[in-house]
C-alpha cells in the first residue's frame, strides 16, 4: 500500500517572527519617508527666511488699527505694510520701509478736538511697536458738501490738522497741507478773502489759494506767506467780473525780491479791466506796487494797479545800488562781454515762464539796460509769428551794473497754448543780449522741464522783462 506524503508544516514560532519582520521593515520605510518630507520643509524655510520687522508689522497691524479706531474722533484707520514678497529683492542692509497709516476723521468737529484726536493717534503710534517711524496721512470728507481735507503732518506738535479743519469751517472746498505744499480751494472768487483772513489769523503760509477750476488763483512759488488780504480782495474782484475768464495773482522771486503780478484773461478788449485796475486802491492798501497784464481777445494791456509804479532795487546790495545809480564811468556791455543762457522754466495756473541770462565774461564791470532781443525757432526749423512786448509799456528801464562773473536775467512770460492742433513747439530761443551783438541760439530742450520744447506757438504773445541783476 502506498502512503500519501504529508505537507510540511511551519512551526508557529517561525510565522510570528516573519510577521514581525515585515512590520518592522514597513515601519522603517514610513519613518524614512516622513523624515525626508520634514527635511525638505525645513530646507524651504531656510531658503526664504521671513523678515522679522515686516513679520512683526504684519502681525500687529490689526491690533494697531483697532487701537486707532477706538480713539474718539477717528472714523476709521488703515495701516499698510509692505508685503514680504516685495522685499525679497532688497539688499540685506536696506531696512524694511516704515508702515503707512491713514486716519479718516469724524466730520464736523472743532479744530481743537480734531487736533487732540491726531495727537492721540501719535501717542498710539509711538507705543505701537511698528518698525521705523510710521508716516501719517489724515483725511476727511464733509457729508453733504463734498469738501475734502488731506493732510500729512510732519509729526507730534504739527498743527496742520487744527488749521485744516479751520479752513473747512470757513467754507473751503479742499484743503491740502504737506511739508512741501499748502493749498486751499474755495467754491467761488468771493470766498477767497474769507479764507485769506483765516490764513492770516492762523499765520499759515499758503502756496496756493484758488477757486474750484482755478478761475481765480493766488500763488506763491517761493517763500510762501499768508496771502495778504488786499491782494486776495483784488483777485476776487477781478475774478468776479463778467468778462473775466481767469485771474491769477502771482508772487514770484526771479531776482530775490518778491514782485506781485496780476494776470487777467478777458473776453473782448482789455482796456475796461485795465482802466479799472489803474483806478483801484488795493495797491495802496497793500503798500506796494502790483504789476498787471490784461489779455483780451486780440490785444493786451499792462500797467500798475492804482498807478502805483514799482520801485526797482538791486538785490546785490547797497554798494551795487550806488554803482548802478552812478554808472557814468562804467561802459555799456557789448556783445563779446556777455555770454547768453536760458534756464528756469516754470508753469503756474495757465502761465509759462522762462529766464534768459547774460553773464559778464569780461574782466571789468559793464552796464545793461532795456531787454534782450528775441525770436523763436520751432522743431520744424520755422520761426513762429510771436509778439514780444515789455512788462510795462512806456516805462524807462533801470540801468544795472554787471560785475565780472555777474549775471543779469530777463524773465519771459506767456499764456499756455494748446498743442493739439499745432504740435510744432519752440525748441530754441534766438537771443540778442544787446544791440549789435551776435545772435545766440539757446536750446530750450536743455532746460529741465522743457525737454520736449515749450508752447510758444504761432500767434503767441510773450512778455519780456527788463534786464535785472540776478540774486547772489
Residues contacting residue 255 through CB under 8 Å, at least 6 positions apart? 315, 409, 468, 469, 470, 471
Q: Decide: helix, strand or coil at residue 100.
A: strand
* Strand partners of residue 341: 357
Q: What is the pLDDT of residues 332-353, one digit of tens each?
A: 999 999 999 998 888 776 788 8
Question: What is the predicted pLDDT for the residue at 221?
Answer: 67
Contact 379, 453 (CB under 8 A): yes
CA distances from 12 to 5, 6, 9, 16, 396 (A): 21, 18, 9, 7, 130
When pLDDT is cut at 50, 70 and 90, the band that residue 257 belongs to is very low
d(CA 108, CA 112): 12
| pLDDT tier for residue 27 given thresholds of 50, 70 and 90 | low
pLDDT(222) > 50: yes
pLDDT for 30:
64
Global pTM exceeds 0.75? no
Place of cell 495797491: 283
The whole-angstrom separation of Cα 398 and Cα 391 is 13
For residues 256 and 313, is the Cβ–Cβ distance under 8 A? Answer: no
Distance of alpha carbon 406 from alpha carbon 468, whole angstroms: 11
- Give the burial class of 421: count Cβ atoms within 10 A of its Cβ; 0-12 exposed, 13-18 middle, 19 or more buried: exposed
**CA-to-CA distance for 199 and 384, rounded, in angstroms?**
44
CA neighbours within 13 Å on the CB side: how many for 137? 12
Of 201, 202, 142, nearest to 172 by C-alpha is 142
The tens digit of pLDDT for each residue in 90-124 reads: 566 656 678 899 999 999 999 999 999 999 999 99
Taking only the tens place, the pLDDT of each residue in 48-62 is: 444 444 456 667 888
CB 209 within 8 A of CB 202: no
Amino acid at each position: 500500500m502506498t502512503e500519501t506524503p504529508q505537507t510540511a508544516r511551519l512551526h508557529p514560532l517561525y510565522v510570528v517572527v516573519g510577521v514581525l519582520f515585515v512590520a518592522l521593515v514597513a515601519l522603517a520605510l514610513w519613518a524614512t519617508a516622513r523624515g525626508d518630507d520634514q527635511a525638505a520643509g525645513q530646507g524651504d524655510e531656510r531658503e526664504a527666511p521671513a523678515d522679522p520687522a515686516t513679520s512683526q508689522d504684519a502681525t500687529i497691524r490689526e491690533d494697531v488699527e483697532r487701537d486707532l479706531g477706538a480713539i474718539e474722533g477717528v472714523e476709521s484707520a488703515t495701516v499698510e505694510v509692505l508685503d514680504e514678497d516685495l522685499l525679497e529683492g532688497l539688499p540685506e542692509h536696506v531696512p524694511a520701509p516704515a508702515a503707512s497709516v491713514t486716519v479718516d476723521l469724524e466730520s464736523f468737529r472743532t479744530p481743537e478736538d480734531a487736533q487732540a484726536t491726531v495727537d492721540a493717534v501719535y501717542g498710539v503710534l509711538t507705543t505701537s511697536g511698528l518698525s521705523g517711524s510710521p508716516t501719517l496721512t489724515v483725511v476727511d470728507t464733509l457729508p453733504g458738501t463734498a469738501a475734502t481735507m488731506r493732510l500729512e503732518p510732519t509729526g507730534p506738535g504739527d498743527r496742520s490738522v487744527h488749521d485744516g479743519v479751520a479752513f473747512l469751517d470757513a467754507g473751503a472746498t479742499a484743503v491740502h497741507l504737506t511739508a512741501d505744499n499748502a493749498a486751499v480751494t474755495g467754491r467761488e472768487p468771493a470766498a477767497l478773502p474769507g479764507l485769506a483772513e483765516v490764513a492770516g489769523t492762523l499765520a499759515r503760509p499758503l502756496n496756493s489759494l484758488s477757486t474750484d477750476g482755478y478761475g481765480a488763483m493766488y500763488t506763491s512759488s517761493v517763500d510762501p506767506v499768508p496771502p495778504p488780504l488786499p491782494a486776495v480782495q483784488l483777485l476776487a474782484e477781478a475774478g468776479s467780473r463778467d468778462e473775466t475768464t481767469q485771474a491769477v495773482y502771482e508772487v514770484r522771486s526771479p531776482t530775490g525780491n518778491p514782485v506781485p503780478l496780476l494776470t487777467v484773461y478777458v473776453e473782448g478788449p482789455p482796456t475796461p479791466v485795465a482802466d479799472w485796475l489803474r483806478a483801484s486802491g488795493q495797491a495802496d492798501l497793500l503798500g506796494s506796487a502790483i504789476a498787471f497784464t490784461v489779455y483780451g481777445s486780440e490785444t493786451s494791456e499792462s500797467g500798475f494797479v492804482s498807478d502805483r509804479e514799482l520801485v526797482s532795487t538791486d538785490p546785490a546790495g547797497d554798494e551795487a545800488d550806488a554803482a548802478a545809480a552812478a554808472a557814468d564811468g562804467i561802459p555799456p556791455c557789448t556783445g563779446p562781454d556777455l555770454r547768453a543762457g536760458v534756464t528756469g522754466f516754470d508753469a503756474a495756473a495757465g502761465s509759462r515762464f522762462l529766464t534768459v541770462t547774460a553773464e559778464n565774461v569780461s574782466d571789468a564791470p559793464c552796464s545793461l539796460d532795456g531787454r534782450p532781443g528775441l525770436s523763436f525757432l520751432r522743431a520744424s526749423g520755422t520761426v513762429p509769428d510771436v509778439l514780444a512786448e515789455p512788462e510795462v509799456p512806456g516805462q524807462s528801464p533801470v540801468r544795472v551794473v554787471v560785475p565780472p562773473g555777474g549775471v543779469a536775467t530777463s524773465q519771459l512770460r506767456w499764456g499756455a497754448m494748446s498743442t493739439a492742433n499745432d504740435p510744432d513747439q519752440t525748441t530754441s530761443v534766438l537771443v540778442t543780449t544787446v544791440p549789435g551783438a551776435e545772435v545766440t541760439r539757446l536750446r530750450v530742450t536743455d532746460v529741465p522741464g522743457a525737454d520736449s520744447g515749450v508752447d510758444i506757438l504761432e500767434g503767441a504773445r510773450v512778455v519780456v522783462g527788463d534786464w535785472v541783476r540776478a540774486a547772489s
